[in-house]
Amino acid sequence: MVTGGAGFIGSHLIDRLVAEGDTVLVFDNLSSGQTSFIEHHLNSGAAEHIQGDLRNFEDVLSAMGQGVDRVIHLAANPDIRLGTRVTDTDLQQGTVSTYNVLEAMRRHDVKKIAFASSSVVYGEDAPLPTPENHGPCLPISLYGASKQAGEGLISSWVGTFGFQAWIFRFANIIGARGTHGVIFDFIHKLKKDSTRLEVLGNGLQEKSYMEVGDCVDAIVHVMKTTDDSLNLYNLGSHDTASVRRIAEIVVEVTGCNDARIEYTGGDRGWAGDVPRARLAIDKMLESGFDVSMNSEDAIRHTAEVLLKEIGLEE
Amino acid sequence: MVTGGAGFIGSHLIDRLVAEGDTVLVFDNLSSGQTSFIEHHLNSGAAEHIQGDLRNFEDVLSAMGQGVDRVIHLAANPDIRLGTRVTDTDLQQGTVSTYNVLEAMRRHDVKKIAFASSSVVYGEDAPLPTPENHGPCLPISLYGASKQAGEGLISSWVGTFGFQAWIFRFANIIGARGTHGVIFDFIHKLKKDSTRLEVLGNGLQEKSYMEVGDCVDAIVHVMKTTDDSLNLYNLGSHDTASVRRIAEIVVEVTGCNDARIEYTGGDRGWAGDVPRARLAIDKMLESGFDVSMNSEDAIRHTAEVLLKEIGLEE
């Protein structure tokens, strides 16, 4: 089972899993996912889609009974900023949903879970690049709090009920079929008004970007090659890029060369935004996996494919 | 406001706060707390008790409107083992309740919170003694997962909404008015049958114990002397004691000298029990606070006072 399997990362993961010969049960409420992303696998019979909501325990319990042998739990609130306005968004779509997944697994004796956590669990005072053993983890966004809560729940199901788990702390994952994020936002802004591009913050936020193909390859690789009861891995690329640089690349790729780039100011994009993030990826590299793109390549590639998907014409 | 203020640690804390001249709003559902613990303060008008449930947001929101300037959030599921059988116990009484406290505070512009976390957030693979900056925190009990989730929520309210917070990771807190825990259990077992004392596990579990008076003194001291936006402190004593030694002390204090001590075996008391725990307390000591009792003194003292409270006669 892949939760959020019709979403951005999920649909790429399903491409890989199907290529490996797996049959995938996609659990997705289509709040941001789209069945069109996985249509070919639904048609071929390699994937089945259950439209359920993780917040509804009965939905999850019933789906989990359909011969699931392991779960890759990606579903989450995709809009980090929404958490600031509607403060139980991440509690419900993150923490409680993860509990529901784990409890449904326990009831059906499904004991292997992989979880999409995030670099944001480290908060903003962590050394850069940040290794997996950094502590204390003090997230500053409600999304980060829900990812940390999810990690703790999974860890306790490992310790109490004999589960086996893989926890992946993602850098910023970008690529085709993106449904949110800075590049997606920039293209939509230029589509609306090609003469200006508003950038939240001063543009100096500096983070690590990983192309989604690399991300799902890393997940599959690490799950194949590690076998501890709990396996924790940062997934990211080797370097970082600034939001300013992303804005320049998007302007260039879209051909909106007259667009003025305007900064709203301040050192973060919104309350709860971590201005600088870079993951130490030594552990990932030691597992034998390396990325095919660094941050700037991934950004350019993503701008190109999202431009085709979104288009600039209304 | 003190949540769980009619409980074991809460009632001792209220003794201290009232001695400092504070007026305290006690929020407690009396699931394990007792108004008799705080009766003198209720009668004197120094404390007021609201019988509400933290799981009910409206209860918390309404209480928070009554002139609260800071919150000390102690309430939690007191029965760690219950979490294993009814797996949403800690999610509801821990994580969701902490969310409700924070959100009610935000709505009423109350921005200072102290939180009773626990050494169990560190899990079982941490170095001993464990410093605050240990990572990753991988709790093995559902109770530990809820404490970690509570820490993350608080940290995110600090980062997103400008809250100020004190997070205390407690060792095993013991003392008068105890309503659970190993010494409490042992005395109740001997009350039932004074000829034998069943000990869960092999008795070699080795943990650090802190007397409740020291614990609440430490809380008050650290809150007075620290002023970062987020202040994280381990609270514990300098040493550890084994469960075997606790059993011997309880047998001696109760005078049940003929009681056979019987071990159920295994290196932990129950699924999710961390067999060995000891907190690094350097940070607490550097704040200028030291404990008045070490583990064995605290255990003997607690056995004596709980024996008086519980009695051995049916």
In one letter, which amino acid is B106? R
Average pLDDT of the residues in A245-273 = 94
pLDDT of residue A80: 82
pLDDT of residue A300: 98
CA torsion sign for B184, B188, B189, B195 is positive
A313 pLDDT tier (thresholds 50, 70, 90): confident
The predicted-structure confidence for A100-109, as pLDDT tens digits, reads as follows 999 999 999 9
- Is A204 exposed, middle or buried (CB count within 10 Å of its CB: 0-12, 13-18, 19+)? middle
Q: Does residue A111 register a pLDDT over 90?
A: yes
- What backbone phi and psi angles, to 5 degrees, belong to B145? -60, -40
Q: Does residue A314 register a pLDDT over 90?
A: no
For B50, the enclosing helix (H) or strand (E) is strand B47-50
Domains of chain B: 2-174+210-235 (3.40.50.720), 182-207+240-274+294-310 (3.90.25.10)
Query: From the CA of B163, how many Å to the nearest CA of chain A?
Result: 11
Distance CA B240, CA B259 (A): 24
The predicted-structure confidence for A278-303, as pLDDT tens digits, reads as follows 999 999 999 999 999 999 999 999 99
pTM of the model: 0.97
A residues 14-73 closer than 8 Å to B (CB): none
- Comparing CA positions, the residue from B186, B182, B205, B204 lying closest to residue B196 is B186
The predicted-structure confidence for B71-125, as pLDDT tens digits, reads as follows 999 999 988 888 889 999 999 999 999 999 999 999 999 999 999 999 999 999 9
Q: Outline where A165-281 has alpha helix (H).
A: 182-192, 212-225, 243-254
Q: Could you tell me what percent of chain A has a pLDDT over 70?
A: 100
Omega before residue B127 within 30° of 0, cis: no
- Comparing CA positions, the residue from B185, B179, B177, B229 lying closest to residue B14 is B177
A9 pLDDT tier (thresholds 50, 70, 90): very high
Q: Find the farthest-apart pair of alpha carbons in chain A and give their distance in angstroms, rounded.
A: 59
**B142 in reach of chain A (CB within 8 A):** yes
The predicted-structure confidence for B161-219, as pLDDT tens digits, reads as follows 999 999 999 999 999 999 889 999 999 999 999 999 999 999 999 999 999 999 999 99
- Is B113 exposed, middle or buried (CB count within 10 Å of its CB: 0-12, 13-18, 19+)? buried
CB contact under 8 A, A139 and B123: no
Average pLDDT of the residues in A78-103 = 93
The tokens for B54 are 């933290």
A136 closest CB neighbour out of B123, B133, B140: B133
Residues shown for chain B: 314
Query: What residues of A are in contact with residue B99 (Cβ under 8 Å)?
Result: 87-88, 91
A2 pLDDT tier (thresholds 50, 70, 90): very high
pLDDT of residue A190: 96
B160 closest CB neighbour out of A106, A142, A148: A142
Mean pLDDT of chain A: 96
Query: From the CA of A162, how many Å to the nearest CA of chain B?
Result: 9
**B272 in reach of chain A (CB within 8 A):** yes
SS3 A251: helix
Q: Does residue B266 register a pLDDT over 80?
A: yes
pLDDT of residue B82: 84
Q: Could you tell me what percent of chain A has a pLDDT over 90?
A: 94
B15 pLDDT tier (thresholds 50, 70, 90): very high
Look at A72-81, B189-198, B274-283 and tell me which has the smallest mean pLDDT: A72-81
The residue of chain A with its CA nearest to that of B89 is A99
pLDDT of residue A270: 86
Beta-carbon contacts of A138 under 8 Å, excluding residues fewer than 6 positions away, are A122, A123, A125, B151, B152, B155, B158, B159, B230, B232
The residue of chain B with its CA nearest to that of A104 is B87
Q: Is residue A94 within 8 Å of residue A150, measured between CB atoms?
A: yes
B313 pLDDT tier (thresholds 50, 70, 90): confident
Look at A59-68, A71-80, A286-295, B165-174 and tell me which has the smallest mean pLDDT: A71-80
Q: Does residue A248 register a pLDDT over 80?
A: yes
Distance CA B74, CA A269 (A): 34
Query: What residues of A are in contact with residue B134 (Cβ under 8 Å)?
Result: 135-136
Distance CA B270, CA B120 (A): 14
A269 pLDDT tier (thresholds 50, 70, 90): confident
ipTM of predicted assembly, 2 dp: 0.96
Look at A264-273, A293-302, B143-152, B201-210 and tell me which has the smallest mean pLDDT: A264-273
The tokens for A256 are 């909106």
Query: From the CA of B246, how many Å to the nearest CA of chain A?
Result: 25
Distance CA A40, CA A287 (A): 32
DSSP letter string, A61-85: HHHHTTT---EEE----S-TTHHHH
Q: Does residue B66 register a pLDDT over 80?
A: yes
Average pLDDT of the residues in A41-69 = 98
Mean pLDDT of chain B: 96
**A243 in reach of chain B (CB within 8 A):** no
pLDDT of residue B78: 82
pLDDT of residue B25: 98
pLDDT of residue A79: 82
pLDDT of residue B271: 86
- Comparing CA positions, the residue from B61, B59, B95 lying closest to residue B77 is B95
Q: Does residue A81 register a pLDDT over 90?
A: no
Q: Does residue B49 register a pLDDT over 80?
A: yes
The predicted-structure confidence for B229-265, as pLDDT tens digits, reads as follows 999 999 999 999 999 999 999 999 999 999 999 999 9
